[in-house]
Amino acid sequence: MGKRILCFGELLLRLGAPGRELLLQSRQLQVHVGGAEANVAVSLARFGHDASMAGTVAANALGEAALGELRRHGVDVTRVRSAPGRMGLYFLATGAGVRPSDVVYDRADSAFALAPPSAYDWPALLDGVDCLHVSGVTPAVGPHSAEAATAAVRAARGQGGLVSFDGNFRPKLWAGWNDRPAPLLHALLAEADIAFIDHRDIDLVLGVDAGEADLPAVSAERTRAASARAFAAFPHLQRIVCTQRDVRSVDAHGLGALLVHRAGAVHRIDAQPVDGIVDRIGAGDAFAAGVLHGVLSGMDDGRALAFGLAAARLKHSVPGDFNLVGASDVSALVDSGRLDVRR
């Protein structure tokens, strides 16, 4: 039986250049609904959980369309409020060859960013919820959303729910209002039971220079060492999980994963091929949703990690921010890895 999960964050409209064009190379843009926490909610709903979204959207046709898209994928949006203002936007030019993808944010003063923290009655919003999921994107949007996110994780902790936190560090957003994000991210991580972070996120939050320049930038050793520092600093934290990505070209990556448990167990999956990439956006959220599904469904940590990695690999084949595969699709990739046509 699925669990009740609440995701708190901003619903966004993504405006993408068609194909591999640069932004406004032609006068067309393709529209998708997304947002880090919404992406997780959609995946969890498709995996059979009772997934809900909390936040604020613009009280106009754009906000209604975004809510309608979440409803279409089985997400409960009754906890999302509407308010005067604008929707947050981001623009995407998908990379090609040696040109990386590029994101331009247009989120300042959105209805979500301007929503006062008092607008969210967290004891009521979290009533009956088994797990709250938030990410580092939400505090990066602005001071109101940062305060609201902190109140949310503290309320969830007080009500005995599982707290899930995805680091999702976005320097372009932080640069718009706060050049010292560590204290705010520290407050969120302090309440988390499971954190989707790597060594860079951990050391940013703790404000340390680990002095591990002799270790590879992407390595299990660095993450294990940083995890020990995080477990010492955050007593609620039980699991640290991350992907390990090897970018060979815009269209071909290798994707591995690592889970470190407070009790000392370490689960690692070596890089698996992700070729012919259609859309990388949302892959980290697909990974987080997959691991959360595994943990909430009673899988052992090794199986939960494998499920999350398979979900992330599949997301690279799905256009848009949402991962529209079901649990059976992910399990099939975990168990057989077969890629032939299903008839």
Task: Report the distance separating Cα 137 and Cα 321, nearest Å.
Answer: 15
Name every residue whose Cβ is closer than 8 Å to that of residue 76 and which is 6 or more positions away in sequence. 50, 51, 52, 53
* Largest separation between any pair of C-alpha atoms in the chain: 55
From the list 268, 278, 224, the residue with the least C-alpha distance to 96 is: 278
Q: Is 285 a catalytic residue?
A: yes
Task: Identify whether the C-beta of residue 311 lies closer than 8 Å to the C-beta of residue 323.
Answer: yes
Q: Where are the beta strands (DSSP E) in 228-303?
A: 239-249, 252-261, 266-275
Q: How many CB atoms lie within 10 A of CB 53?
A: 28
Task: Report the distance separating Cα 139 and Cα 199, nearest Å.
Answer: 20
Task: Report the distance separating Cα 326 and Cα 311, nearest Å.
Answer: 9
Inter-helix orientation angle 182-189/143-158, to 10°: 20
From the list 236, 82, 57, 71, the residue with the least C-alpha distance to 162 is: 236
- Alpha carbon of 190 to those of 47, 125, 164, 193, 231: distances in Å? 28, 21, 11, 9, 10
Annotated catalytic residue, options 166, 193, 198, 285: 285
Task: Report the distance separating Cα 139 and Cα 145, nearest Å.
Answer: 5
Task: Report the distance separating Cα 78 and Cα 202, nearest Å.
Answer: 34
What single DSSP character describes residue 3? P
Q: What residues are labeled active site?
A: 285
